[in-house]
């Protein structure tokens, strides 16, 4: 989709696992991190748990991009920070992730990552933002009543997010390289250099331009001066044609004497 999303999504997915319907999980039935409620919102309004269990990779990407990545404006955040905020949003909600980011960069806390938040983010070191965000995230998780049940998993997740995000800092986003075909240089056969040039449209076009351009620029000069200029240009053209003929003749003589190389 855009920028680091293709790199960040697999990192998030490795923490989400497969099917889960834990009674203690406030999110309820979940498949690869997508709750039934979210699936109904972005994919199928009347979806059942069976529909959720059969979710496709394309549907997963759609949900994660629209519900989390775009919601925190991750496409506008620096590399590494985008992933750290994105994973926080997936785990604890986009609004909370945005507000924690805003507190760290000392800007208005409204849960919307807009121009002012982005400006504050750009003014701060990305690595510092990542470390502080992950620390604040852990402090939040430890206060939850479900910490005794999910604490170990959350700790492992945030620790890995911190490291992966720091590794992404300063790295350019993945770019698909498109090979550009390079035309092979045209190699002239020396033996063909003396082919009749009077029939060449290219030569006549060049000669016309070579004569016309200077005359147009020097139209105010005396006609005799203009005539001298034309004579010089024509003389140069004749000399060039003769040189081509001489080179071709030399090549044929050498070829006749020594044979093919």
Report the distance separating Cα 44 and Cα 42, nearest Å. 6
Of the listed ranges 79-88, 145-154, 183-192, the least confidently predicted one is: 183-192
- Does residue 135 have a pLDDT over 80? yes
pLDDT of residue 122: 97
Q: Burial of 117 by CB count in 10 Å (0-12 exposed, 13-18 middle, 19+ buried)?
A: buried
pLDDT of residue 168: 95
pLDDT in tens, 38-47: 999 999 999 9
Report the distance separating Cα 139 and Cα 145, nearest Å. 13
pLDDT of residue 178: 32
- Does residue 33 have a pLDDT over 60? yes
The rounded percent of the chain whose pLDDT value lies above 70 is 63
Quick one: average pLDDT of 223-245?
A: 62
- Does residue 190 have a pLDDT over 60? no
pLDDT of residue 136: 98
More confident residue, 173 or 115: 115
- pTM value is 0.62
Of the listed ranges 19-28, 113-122, 130-139, 199-208, the least confidently predicted one is: 199-208
CB 247 within 8 A of CB 193: yes
Strand partners, 20: 30
């Amino acid at each position: 989709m855009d920028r680091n999303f293709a790199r960040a999504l697999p990192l998030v997915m490795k923490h989400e696992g497969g099917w889960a319907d834990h009674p203690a999980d406030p999110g309820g039935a979940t498949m690869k991190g997508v709750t039934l409620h979210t699936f109904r919102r972005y994919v199928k309004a009347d979806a059942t748990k069976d529909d959720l269990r059969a979710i496709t990779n394309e549907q997963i990407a759609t949900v994660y991009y629209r519900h989390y990545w775009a919601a925190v404006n991750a496409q506008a955040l620096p590399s590494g920070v985008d992933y750290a905020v994105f994973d926080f949003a997936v785990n604890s909600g986009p609004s909370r992730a945005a507000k924690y980011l805003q507190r760290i960069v000392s800007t208005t806390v409204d849960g919307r990552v807009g121009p002012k938040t982005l400006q504050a983010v750009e003014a701060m070191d990305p690595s510092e933002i990542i470390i502080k965000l992950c620390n604040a995230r852990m402090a939040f998780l430890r206060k939850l009543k479900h910490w005794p049940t999910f604490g170990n998993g959350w700790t492992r997740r945030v620790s890995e997010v911190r490291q992966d995000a720091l590794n992404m800092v300063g790295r350019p986003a993945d770019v698909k390289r498109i090979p550009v075909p390079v035309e092979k240089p045209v190699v002239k056969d020396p033996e063909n250099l003396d082919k009749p040039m009077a029939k060449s449209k290219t030569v006549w076009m060049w000669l016309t331009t070579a004569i016309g351009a200077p005359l147009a620029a020097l139209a105010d000069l005396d006609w005799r001066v203009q005539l001298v200029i034309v004579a010089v240009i024509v003389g140069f053209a004749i000399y060039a044609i003769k040189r081509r003929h001489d080179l071709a003749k030399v090549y044929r003589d050498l070829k006749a004497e020594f044979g093919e190389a």
